[in-house]
Amino acid sequence: MPRNLRNLYQIKVSLNDVKPPIWRRLLISSTTNLSELHNIIQVAMGWTDTHLHQFIVGNERYGIPDPDFEDGTKPEDGIRIGTLLKKEKQWIIYEYDFGDGWKHKIILEKILPYKSGETAPKCIGGRRGCPPEDVGGVLGYKEFLEAYNDKTHPGHKENMEWAGEYFDPERFGPNEINEILSGQ
């Protein structure tokens, strides 16, 4: 559920190494914790939250630690974005799906004062659709798009069927994103 805020962060979440760029511009509270931010990014980018993730801040990693695999990952719960990003132009990395290795740069573009009636989280901009899950990372997505967009490519039909009728690499729908975010 949206909540009233004192401060808003305008962040840009960009998928690294993908051309043309895929990104989202979001308004979030500076008190948003990393677990909440993970959920917001999943919705905004169009991921399905079926893989592991982590936030990388300098040499520190935050996520959901695995008690059977001690790798130094710190718990993300309770870590507020405002404690990590304190001034404009600072950034952190969000990695999703360690197999595909999707890295997102999260940059703090603006710190905005709270305005009466303002709610967050909210998507206020973006470009292009998110790659399908399990497509094989940046290289796999590039190869997928070549086949997907070329009707004469031997893998075209298979990729069309695999991606489903709703996939469109150019589609960005902020209204759909905000409808989902407003219910969180």
Radius of gyration of the chain from its Cα atoms, rounded to whole angstroms:
17
Q: Token pair 């197999």 is at which residue?
A: 99
User: Which has more confidence, 58 or 72?
Assistant: 58
* 28 closest CA partner among 126, 94, 112, 96: 112
pTM: 0.92
Mean pLDDT, rounded, for 140-155: 93
Q: Which helix (H) or strand (E) holds 143?
A: helix 137-149
Q: Is 86 exposed, middle or buried (0-12, 13-18, 19+ CB in 10 A)?
A: exposed
* Residue 184 vs residues 24, 34, 73, 144, 159: alpha-carbon distances, Å: 18, 15, 26, 32, 33
Q: What is the DSSP letter of 128?
A: S
Tokens of 85: 């990003």
Domains, the chain, ranges and CATH? 7-129+171-182 (3.10.290.30)
pLDDT tens for each residue of 106-142: 999 999 988 888 888 999 999 999 999 999 999 999 9
Tokens of 35: 């677990």
Q: Given a cut of 70, is residue 4 above it in pLDDT?
A: no
Q: What residues have CB less than 8 Å from 109, skipping those under 6 apart?
A: 10, 11, 12, 25, 88, 89
